[in-house]
């Protein structure tokens, strides 16, 4: 027997076996610590990585900032009265007031329908997202575009965009909760997520068009919102999956 045909040492075989079992568990669709958790952690990491890169560029006043200023100036020079009215209306759909109303209705509705864990996750997503946005804005302290003075009153900061972050969390969780709790939704599932994504995209674009944010503000809001939304949904998936695993089976009527 040559060296290539010799059996793998037991300790090496054990380590490879343990590693393969670990990766298999991470890709298990049925386990609450399987594929969903893995995908969730990847999306969270991606969102944080994008946000961190944008933040570094903004704080260093790097090339991205010059592109921001140039893009904002170009968009502002080519806007129209009709365009402003349209995008102001779209922007208002992502306002904190609208997001707050949707969150309250969603939390109350899911709680009354006895989806208690989902209601708590929704409240954490909406409330925690608003707090996180405020902390980031006042910590980073980025000045808004000069064109924002025509629409905004008082002092507020630019990075990240609260509308972009809030709509990502608000409409994202609304779509998730709708798909999760609807009894027969079928092929409409993709349409609901697509509409939520399209609305979030348009709201972000509207903030740049009307001149109250730079493009990187919107991108940063999307990235932070995606990370927080995924964190809340993944947390809900893990907790609800663990609860289902440990929940005692209800005996059937025929059981003595």
CATH number at residue 180: 1.20.144
Is 29 a domain residue?
A: no
Q: What is the pLDDT of residues 12-44, one digit of tens each?
A: 445 555 545 544 444 555 555 557 778 889 999
Please count the structural domains in the chain. Answer: 1
Is 10 a domain residue?
A: no
Highest mean pLDDT out of 26-35, 88-97, 236-245 = 88-97
Is 22 a domain residue?
A: no
Q: DSSP characters for 41-75?
A: HHHHHHHHHHHHHHHHHHHTT-HHHHHHHHHHHHH
Is 174 a domain residue?
A: yes
Tell me what the mean pLDDT of segment 136-163 comes to: 83
Instruction: Give residues with Cβ within 8 angstroms of 59, minimum separation 6.
Output: 140
pLDDT at 144: 86
Other CB atoms within 10 Å distance of the CB of residue 224: 27
Is 112 a domain residue?
A: yes
Q: 164 lies in which domain range?
A: 37-240
Q: What is the pLDDT of residues 152-163, one digit of tens each?
A: 766 778 899 999
pLDDT at 152: 73
Summary mean pLDDT of the chain: 82
Is 26 a domain residue?
A: no
pLDDT at 253: 45
Is 185 a domain residue?
A: yes
pLDDT at 146: 78
pTM value is 0.81
By residue count, the chain amounts to 256
C-alpha separations of 236 from 42, 47, 94, 108, 162 in Å: 16, 19, 24, 17, 24
Is 7 a domain residue?
A: no
- The residue to which tokens 């949707």 are assigned: 102
């Amino acid at each position: 027997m040559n060296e290539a045909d010799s059996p793998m040492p037991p300790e090496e075989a054990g380590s490879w076996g343990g590693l393969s079992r670990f990766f298999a568990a991470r890709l298990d669709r049925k386990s609450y610590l399987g594929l969903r958790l893995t995908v969730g952690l990847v999306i969270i990491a991606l969102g944080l990585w994008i946000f961190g890169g944008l933040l570094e560029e903004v704080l260093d006043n790097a090339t991205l900032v010059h592109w921001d200023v140039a893009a904002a100036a170009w968009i502002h020079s080519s806007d129209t009265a009709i365009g402003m009215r349209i995008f102001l209306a779209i922007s208002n759909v992502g306002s904190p007031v609208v997001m707050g109303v949707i969150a309250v209705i969603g939390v109350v509705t899911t709680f009354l329908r006895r989806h208690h864990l989902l209601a708590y996750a929704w409240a954490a997503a909406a409330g925690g997202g608003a707090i996180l946005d405020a902390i980031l804005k006042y910590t980073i302290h980025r000045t808004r575009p000069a064109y924002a003075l025509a629409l905004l009153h008082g002092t507020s900061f630019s990075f990240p965009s609260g509308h972009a972050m809030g709509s990502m969390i608000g409409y994202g969780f609304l779509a998730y909760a709708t798909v999760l709790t609807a009894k027969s939704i079928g092929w409409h599932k993709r349409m609901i997520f697509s509409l939520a994504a399209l609305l979030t995209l348009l709201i972000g674009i509207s903030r740049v068009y009307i001149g109250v944010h730079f493009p990187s503000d919107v991108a940063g809001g999307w990235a932070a919102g995606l990370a927080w939304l995924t964190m809340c949904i993944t947390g809900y998936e893990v907790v609800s999956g663990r609860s289902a695993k440990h929940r005692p089976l209800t005996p059937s009527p025929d059981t003595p």
